[in-house]
Chains A and B, each alone.
Chain A
Amino acid sequence: MVLAAAALAAFGVSLVNFADGGGVDAQSALTFLVFSLAFGALLAGMRAWAPSAVPFLIPLAATISAVGFVTVYRLDRELADLQRWWLLLGSGLAVLALYMMRSNGLDPLRRYRYLFLAAAVALLLLPLLPVSGPLPLHGLEVNGSRLWVRFDVGVRIQFQPGEVAKLLLVVFLASFLAERQTALTVSNRHLGPIRLPEPRQLSPVVVAWAASFAVLIYQRDLGASMLLFGVFIVMLYMATNRFTYLTTGLLVFTGGVVLAYTRFAHVQRRVTAWLDPWSDYDDAGYQIAQGMFAMGSGSLSGSGLGLGRPDLIPAAATDFVFAAVAEEMGLAGSIVVIAAYALLVATGFGIALRSRDLFRKLLAAGLTFVLGLQTILILAGVVRIMPVTGITLPFMSYGGSSLLANFLLIALLARVSHEERT
């Protein structure tokens, strides 16, 4: 399966070359090698340290990565060169994570949860560091959002700490909620037939709302803020089975949205561009319009790899990578991609459902949900179900931080799966 994905990536690269007048060349071979190496190593790591894990995770991730890589290669050869390194590094990190969990398993994650919380908060705050200063670490503003950190140690390394922070938060929440489940569930207050939650029980919702709103305000990032909030609320719900958390969550979310819309120009711009991209075609609506043109031009069978013009879409290799796939591989490609994500999410929830203790259940479900929600948020933006949020599509978009985080996510899921079967 993994070899098939590697072959798929190499074949895609060759097709792109072919459309350009070339064919199977060193790039195809290199891609095959990198994919075989990255996912082969991951597979070997899983065989060695999580042998009982379900076997679908890695092939699915490899397939999605292959489609994504071919698209990135097609759009920008230099980014593809980097992406290959990120693939190797990400899988290396995942193998390392599996190795470190080989004897104690997930227990340390549970035990040091406040360490993870602190790390997550610190990571989320990192981009707010001054843009210039004596420290080797700088905040960085990209496209109006403060999501990036630049690390100046001889070489300049840039990364998006939010991608890793979201994993740490899931780990913390799973551990925290597994322990506090009862305290958060029991309530003696009633209003007619409706059980009211204790005010103390609502505090996590408020904390979640405040944290994600803070991200929105200070980092100007709609996607990350919605992702964080969604994960908080849904994990609360999954831990307690209390519908109130969803409804109150939805209420404060709506309030937040209204507030954000009325107070922030950049949110307003995105909403306007979503509702009517043609009204501001040359500016805010341009990306959405180009995404729609790409999807429409792709039609059923697509233009063929290397033969469309996804390069016309702004941020085609990152946020709008799905539109690029839709253009060149057509509806067939789009549905395969969505189906692959659905399968990955199904596999993740399968692991969670089979898990025996609450912490692992919540961990697997939370990790899967974060992957699923992130996929949905950006895809929904591209197909105009909601405003564009500007987050990466897991495994497909170009981006080191995103790839590393998602490889780690797969390693954690694999470990949960393994532990529940032994």
Chain B
Amino acid sequence: MNGPLRRVAVALFVVFMILVLNVTYWQVIAADRLRDDPRNSRVLLTRTGRERGLIISADGEILARSIGDPIDSQRYLRQYPYEGLYAHTVGFSSLLFGGTGIERAFAEELTSGRDLTVAGVINALLGGDVRAQSVQLTLNHQLQTIASEALAGQTGAVVAINPATGEILAMVSTPDFDPNRLIGSGAPQAWSDLQEDPTRPLLSRATGQSYPPGSTFKSIVATAALETGEAGPDTLFPNTRSIDLPNSTATIENFNASLCGAGDQVTLEESFLRSCNTTFALLGMDLGAEAVVDAAQSFGFNRPVPLEIPLLTSAIPPADTFANSLAALAQTSLGERDVQATAFQMALVASAIANDGLLMEPHLLARIFDADSTLESEVEPSVYAQPLGAGTAVVLQQMMERVVTQGTGTRAQIPGVRVAGKTGTSESATGPPHAWFIGFAPVERPMMAIAVVVASGGDIGESATGGSVAAPIARTVIEAWLNIALDPAP
């Protein structure tokens, strides 16, 4: 009589075993996948409620901190004392909208591991430090403030790098937004306001938006010429107001259709400091697509350059797309048409030239401290690439110095300091031109490489040029840095 009962009981136990196996699958094998699923808001919800570590600038200012929630003593609220100044670098950590920037990149380190999980309790009992760590950035607060003020309400970006180490000294994008608005009540409204804002304050013009680099790209074409031996600083080019492009009705003319100095012929160096389009269009066609594209790629174009926060890859079309179109190559050599660069990428170009050809790996993280303020880890400088030889770099440094002393970049001059640079004014499809300046100083021992972009003419509009709009901003930032670096005490 008990036979069927036994079989039913056994069947039930088999099913219980299957349940155990299944739940083990979800909680062990599939656990990481489920926990990290972007639709699973748990990690974010628990993290944002917990205490997070400090984010501090290179000069010790607190850029982000956790304060006790006045309503709920067990929860913490994130606070950003400098409001929009670090909106695109430090980013934010929000209950509802996720995390961005450094807050996202170092979420693990910044989050307290103190909780009541078995793992957490055991770790704490064994003396493991479960407190949140603090993150120190390479950004200098004084410099960041000055760079932001220098952009003064214009749309654009400033990226300043220490060329010898790859430390990012300042990175500003305007317009910015106050990440504190995304914490606490009113956050959903603030978020939708920001997303619908036509000035797009959430977008980083330093790392998330590319523009045609205009004549700043000539420094890359010049690199290609010097590296391949196609031309040197004294190589002569015809001095014309404009040239006709082969197999095309298009012409290329100099700025204001002017001549490139006096005489029938002009040197490459002279053309560089005057930013003559005719010379560089001819030079680009002489070099060929491969050399130009290779030079750009060696600086980081078309490559995922490592950075702690998301970085848009700057782009130039592959060489074979120019096979039948010398005209397109000529226009690309002027930094127009299909070439697109972020301000960050152009800062890397300046940095590599300044550092005698060695491009250091760029980074925002300087150090990680544990909760007792003892050093946990430190980022060591490392070489990312060598886009050009040291000899080429020295020649380019001199050519760029002359741009500032005698050429289009005179408004970047600082008395008593040797400044090098290259201006750019690139066409915008929708409005006034974008004003560019890349450069570094002091030439004999560069302490800063910089890229400035001011979108759509800035305050000046149609008449804006890199020399008139971007160069003065670079000047202000470079000068400020030299003062800070030589006299660290504020």
Contact = CB atoms under 8 A, between A and B. Distances in A.
Interface in B1-52: 1-6, 8-9, 12-13, 15-16, 18-20, 22-24, 26-28, 30-35, 37, 39-43, 45-46
B34 A295 contact: yes
A299 B35 CA distance: 9
Given A295-B34, A297-B34, A302 B23 contact: no
Nearest to B118: A301
B115 interface: yes
A384 B21 CA distance: 12
A299 B16 contact: no
Contacts of B4: 237-238, 240-241
B373 interface: no
A307 B116 CA distance: 8
Give chain B's interface secondary structure class.
helix
Given A301-B119, A302-B118, A303-B117, A331 B45 contact: no
A293 B19 contact: no
A383 interface: yes
Contacts of B6: 349, 353
B118 A332 contact: yes
A21 B73 CA distance: 7
B1 A342 contact: no
A373 B11 CA distance: 11
Given A281-B39, A335-B23, A376 B16 contact: yes
Contacts of A305: 116
A376 B8 contact: no
A18 B121 CA distance: 14
Contact of B115 (A300, A307, A341, A372): A307
Given A312-B42, A361-B1, A383-B19, A295 B116 contact: no
Given A297-B43, A353-B2, A369-B8, A383 B26 contact: yes
Contact of B23 (A308, A326, A342, A365): A326
Interface string A339-372: 1011001100100110000100100010001001
A20 interface: yes
B118 A307 contact: no
A326 B27 contact: yes
B61 to A, nearest CB: 32
A318 interface: no
A237 B8 contact: yes
A191 B42 CA distance: 60
Contacts of A349: 5-6, 8-9, 12
Nearest to A240: B4
A335 B27 CA distance: 11
A37 interface: no
A292 B26 CA distance: 7
A92 interface: no
A384 B393 CA distance: 63
Nearest to A357: B1
A385 B35 CA distance: 20
A380 interface: yes
Nearest to B3: A241
Contacts of A304: 115-117, 120
B13 A342 contact: yes
Contact of A307 (B37, B40, B72, B117): B117
Contacts of A342: 12-13, 16
A403 B9 CA distance: 23
A309 interface: yes
A365 B18 CA distance: 21
B74 interface: yes
A20 B75 CA distance: 9
A84 to B, nearest CB: 24
A330 B8 contact: no
Nearest to A353: B2
Contacts of A240: 4
Contacts of A335: 20, 23-24
A376 B19 contact: yes
Contact of A365 (B5, B19, B32, B118): B5
B27 A299 contact: yes
Contact of A334 (B12, B27, B40, B115): B27
A292 B73 contact: no
Interface in A310-332: 312, 326, 330-332
A309 B2 contact: no
Contact of A330 (B2, B27, B115): B27
Interface string B70-98: 00111000000000000000000000000
A289 interface: yes
B117 A302 contact: yes
Nearest to A373: B12
A15 interface: yes
A338 B15 contact: no
20 contacts: A21-B73, A281-B39, A292-B30, A294-B42, A303-B115, A304-B120, A305-B116, A330-B118, A338-B19, A338-B23, A345-B13, A349-B5, A349-B8, A349-B9, A352-B5, A361-B5, A372-B12, A376-B16, A376-B19, A385-B19
Given A238-B5, A306-B116, A345-B13, 5 more contacts: A338-B23, A342-B16, A345-B9, A379-B23, A385-B19
Interface of B: 1-6, 8-9, 12-13, 15-16, 18-20, 22-24, 26-28, 30-35, 37, 39-43, 45-46, 72-74, 115-120
Interface of A: 15, 18-21, 234, 237-238, 240-241, 281, 289, 292-309, 312, 326, 330-332, 334-335, 338-339, 341-342, 345-346, 349, 352-353, 358, 361, 365, 369, 372-373, 376, 379-380, 383-385
